[in-house]
Amino acid sequence: MAVMADYSKTISFIKELYGNQEFTPLSVPVFAGNEKKYLEECIDTTFVSSVGKFVDRFEEEIARYTGAKKAVVCVSGTNALHMSLMLSGVERDDEVLTQALTFIATCNALSYIGAHPVFIDVDRSTMGLSPDAVKQWLVKNAEIRKGECFNKNTGRRVKACVPMHTFGHPVRIDELAAVCEEYHIELVEDAAESIGSRYKGKHTGTFGKVGAISFNGNKTITTGGGGMMLFNDEELAAYAKHITTQAKIPHRWEFRHDHIGYNYRMPNINAALGCAQLENLDKYIASKRETASAYAEFFKNIDDIEFFVEPENSFSNYWLNVVILKDKDAQVDFLQQTNDNGVMTRPIWELMNRLPMFENCENDGLKNTIWFADRVVNIPSSVKL
């Protein structure tokens, strides 16, 4: 019988890193700046809802921070993704190339439109969509007809590709952009987890047609709940604003609408929280990166565990730290021992192709994806101030 590994050294290290609390959570938000002040301002001025100065300010500041031409707020990262796909021309029965190694929101968003995911493998170096695997799948399965990409086997149009910057680590996004361009596929980035993360100095979410960020409570900065779309195309951004605000034609008293619209606009109180959080984002990322280097240093001396470090050419926000258990049968033991001892850890999400809604979707074998699913565990990653 195999001897169960003893993770007590690792557990002590993590506990100490976070000040020997009885319970060390995975990731909790920090409100150390102007949050209360800005929220109070919303209440005092009565501008708590869909109109108010913080909404515009948050959009402008995120655009400036990310280098996007325009940013448009939403009430969640999931609907930012939904809108991003719609604005990229994805329609019912189209196919969308994406990762099986992602949070459910990526696939839910494309399903709202009636599109179908095709799951392509990730890179071992990034945990995100592999440009080589995407290219390989396209060479084998795709044909271009009248400037559009089609899956030869299903006859469906392949309209978009959605890489996800897993746990904040950038994918090889410039190579993905090149493959997408070659095959006339729109690139939509799920940058929900990667605010502050850059690839070759350029902010994630700004490489494709649209990029979607999340400000859910567990992300690097939060608005309570919220999302943002990043655009390089100002006209498309203006249209995004229009359809996420009920597609109302601006007028002082008339209620006229020229399109099916959505009520996806972020309330001012959430944007107020976002403005305050953004002021501290670089500080939070610096803290996260410091924690990550402490982990990297510690795990160098632990034989059976590898700490995942940011890929080449990347600056990662290290949203959630990742360890890779070298023995693929060790995952349950590690989860049990850490959680039993007050250190919160969890495995990577159940792969999308293993969920009942997506189990019949096409995939390319997902070799690295399955390798990660068997070995990855997230360990505590909260900002320390």
Ligand X SMILES: *Cc1c(COP(=O)(O)O)cnc(C)c1O
Positions that interact with ligand X (CB under 6 A): 76-78, 81, 102-103, 105-106, 164, 190, 192-193, 214, 216, 227
Q: Min. distance of Cβ 191 from ligand X in angstroms?
A: 9
Tell the smallest beta-carbon distance from residue 12 to ligand X (Å). 30
DSSP 284-301: HHHHHHHHHHHHHHHHTT
> Which bin fits 125, alpha (ψ -120 to 50), beta or left (φ > 0)?
alpha
d(CA 99, CA 129): 6
| CB nearer to ligand X: pick between 11 and 269 | 269
Nearer to ligand X, 76 or 378 (CB): 76
Residue 4: CB atoms within 10 Å? 10
| 368, 129 contact by CB (below 8 A) | no
Provide the 10 A C-beta neighbour count for residue 370.
17
Read off the DSSP letter of residue 202: E
> Smallest distance, Å, CB 9 to ligand X?
30
CB 193 to ligand X: min, Å:
5
> For residues 265-281, b (16+ Cβ closer than 10 Å) or e, as one string?
bbbbbbbbbbbbbbbbb
Nearer to ligand X, 24 or 378 (CB): 378
DSSP 8-state secondary structure symbol assigned to residue 225: S
Q: What is the β-pairing status of strands 227-231 and 376-379?
A: unpaired
Among 227, 216, 202, CA closest to 320: 216
Please state the closest distance from residue 156 (CB atom) to ligand X, in A.
23
Q: Which one, 88 or 214, has the nearer CB to ligand X? A: 214
**Cα separation of 208 and 230, whole Å?**
9
Closest to ligand X by CB, 190 vs 362, is: 190
Cβ nearer to ligand X, comparing 105 with 129? 105
Only one residue has tokens 């959009």, namely: 59
| Residue pair 212/66 in contact by the 8 Å Cβ criterion | no
Tell the smallest beta-carbon distance from residue 144 to ligand X (Å).
29
User: Tokens standing for 51?
Assistant: 């109109």
Nearest distance in Å: CB 19, ligand X: 27
The nearest distance, CB 251 to ligand X, in angstroms, is 32
**C-beta closer to ligand X: residue 138 or 170:** 170
Nearest residue to ligand X, using CB?
77
In angstroms, give the least distance from the CB of 82 to ligand X: 9
Start-end of H helices in the chain: 8-17, 35-45, 53-66, 77-87, 105-113, 131-141, 173-182, 234-243, 268-279, 281-299, 331-340, 367-375
